[in-house]
Amino acid sequence: AQSVSQHNHHVILSEAASLELGCNYSYGGTVNLFWYVQYPGQHLQLLLKYFSGDPLVKGIKGFEAEFIKSKFSFNLRKPSVQWSDTAEYFCAVSGGFQKLVFGTGTRLLVSP
Amino acid sequence: DAGVTQSPTHLIKTRGQQVTLRCSPKSGHDTVSWYQQALGQGPQFIFQYYEEEERQRGNFPDRFSGHQFPNYSSELNVNALLLGDSALYLCASSLNTNNEQFFGPGTRLTVL
């Protein structure tokens, strides 16, 4: 069965600090990988996705993620966070045109 | 271009009652998926509809059923409500040829 692990449940950073959120998945076949963000009071939005090709993918708002197949990982990074990045971040995996399996999420708080 | 819309926004029911939640997909999308997000958890896949049929189902009991209409909109029905059904119910739409799912704002269901 597919599963996703997000190791950091709560992260607190100061503005301009660098961010890296871990995501590991378990799936035996070809995967599609996603990071979604949920800002306070808003709905889930897609940050970035990996389907194939270049393992380093760039998303919106300066976020990027690297797919490392050998480590079954898809970590999210941002060089310098802003207060507006305060949100909950979800990693998700899918095997083709199928259901998304989400991790439990990471709550990020950025202090100004 | 309207995104995914869901109704109602909030709903309060008592144990044993039945509820119907509605979803209109993003314009041009033909596939609808439903997720349950309990407090502090990531979304859990309930089922997916394509061409008016349930294509895939997650680990949810038969009390959870759905429907997709010819205009691609969808309904989620839950019978014999339990306290544990209290959650945010999310609808996501996508194209059958592309697994990038767009989420609606959700319906917050409270079962008393």
Is A43 an interface residue toward B (CB < 8 Å)?
yes
Rounded distance between C-alpha atoms, residue A63 and residue B91, angstroms = 25
Share of chain A above pLDDT 70, in %: 98
**SS3 (DSSP) at B84:** helix
pLDDT, residue A97, reads 62
Share of chain A above pLDDT 90, in %: 81
A73-97 pLDDT, tens digit each: 999 999 999 999 999 999 999 986 6
Rounded distance between C-alpha atoms, residue A105 and residue B2, angstroms = 27
Identity of the highest mean pLDDT range in A39-43, A86-90, B38-42, B94-98: A86-90
Instruction: Decide if A4 and B42 are in contact by the 8 Å CB cutoff.
Output: yes
With CA atoms as reference, the chain B residue closest to A91 would be B42
Mean pLDDT computed over B2-9 = 93
Instruction: Decide if A43 and B106 are in contact by the 8 Å CB cutoff.
Output: yes
B64-87 pLDDT, tens digit each: 999 999 999 999 999 999 999 999
pLDDT, residue A53, reads 92
B22-37 pLDDT, tens digit each: 999 999 999 999 999 9
Mean pLDDT of chain A: 93
Is A60 an interface residue toward B (CB < 8 Å)?
no
pLDDT, residue A96, reads 63
Q: Which residues, including other chains, have CB under 8 Å from residue B58's CB and lie 6 or more apart?
A: A99, B44, B45, B46, B47
Is A29 an interface residue toward B (CB < 8 Å)?
no
- Could you tell me which residues are beta bridge partners of residue B105? none
Mean pLDDT of chain B: 95
For A104, counting Cβ atoms within 10 Å of its Cβ (0-12 exposed, 13-18 middle, 19+ buried), the class is: middle
Share of chain B above pLDDT 70, in %: 99
Instruction: Decide if B48 and A99 are in contact by the 8 Å CB cutoff.
Output: yes
